Structure 1
Amino acid sequence: MQPSNRSPYPPVDPELLYESANQSSKLMKEASMVLDKLASSKEFGARLMDVAQQSRTDEVERLIHSVGITSDVEVTYNPDGLELVFKSKVKNMDCCKLSISLRWR
């Protein structure tokens, strides 16, 4: 009797991983847009901090989106900083997210 060369595991399908990687690449580009704006404009950062301090969440989110991002982003903040969680879906299934935490105090 010869040993079986068949794997005990099912065949792999990299399609979802491929799509997730592509979506993650888009999220990274959009996160870079936000970071570039914050790194290049103290006025933008000051405005963002000011409206966050006033708990004007809609305006904080509007400012974040004003740099041209189209991805879903969850924005949270507190007196110490800002957290952005960029999210994407593939085939109506959560596939990837990118979290960025920034300190401002």
Structure 2
Amino acid sequence: MSYNPYHYPVIHQMPPYPANMVNYPIPRTYPAVDPKIFEGSVKSFHQLMAQASMLLNRLGNVAFSRKLMSAAQQGKQAEVDKMIKSIGLRVPVATKFNPTDVHFILTTPPTPYNPINCCTLTVGLKWSQ
């Protein structure tokens, strides 16, 4: 028999457990429920929603929106960021835009008690066809 590089031998594998073995569920233990972190996240998210409301109120100003859209259309990310910063929001906001829509990503800032931000709120708005 000659060597064939395209021939792969068939390997017969045994099942991972004997066929007569019954599959019983494995009991699992979970840590006690502690809602403190979740409660903090809910509180922080309420603050994000208040900040998003402030953002939307400012975006409702036609002159501000026209200037923001114009800067975005010209690809001036720094100017868009500066305008959003001028609103005076107390949370970090990242702005991403394309020809049809804009997204504002609001995140909770880290605190001494929680060095990792817990929550993110994305506001997506359509501004063109």
Indicate the TM-score class for this superposition, using the shorter chain for normalisation.
Answer: 0.7 to 0.9
- Residue deviations 1:9-40 (CA, integer Å, cap 9, x gap): 3211111111111111111111111111112x
Spell out, residue by residue over 1:48-75, the C-alpha distance to the aligned partner (whole angstroms, 9 max, x if none).
Answer: 0011111111111111121110201111
Of the two, which has the highest radius of gyration?
2
Q: Which has the higher helix share?
A: 1
In the TM superposition, what is the alpha-carbon distance from 1:94 to its structure 2 partner? Answer: 2.9
Cα distance in 2 for partners of 1:62, 1:29 equals 20
| Equivalent position amino acid for 2:123 in 1 | I
The alignment covers a number of residue pairs equal to 98
Higher strand share: 1
The match for 2:42 among 6, 10, 21 is: 21
Classify the secondary structure of the residue corresponding to 2:121.
Answer: strand
TM-score by length of 1: 0.85
Distance 2:44 2:126 in 1: 26
Q: Distance in 1 between matches of 2:126 and 2:93?
A: 18
Other-structure match for 1:49: 69
Unaligned runs of 5+ in 2: 1-28
* Coordinate RMSD, CA, aligned: 1.6
Q: Which has the higher contact order (CA 8 A, sep 6+)?
A: 1
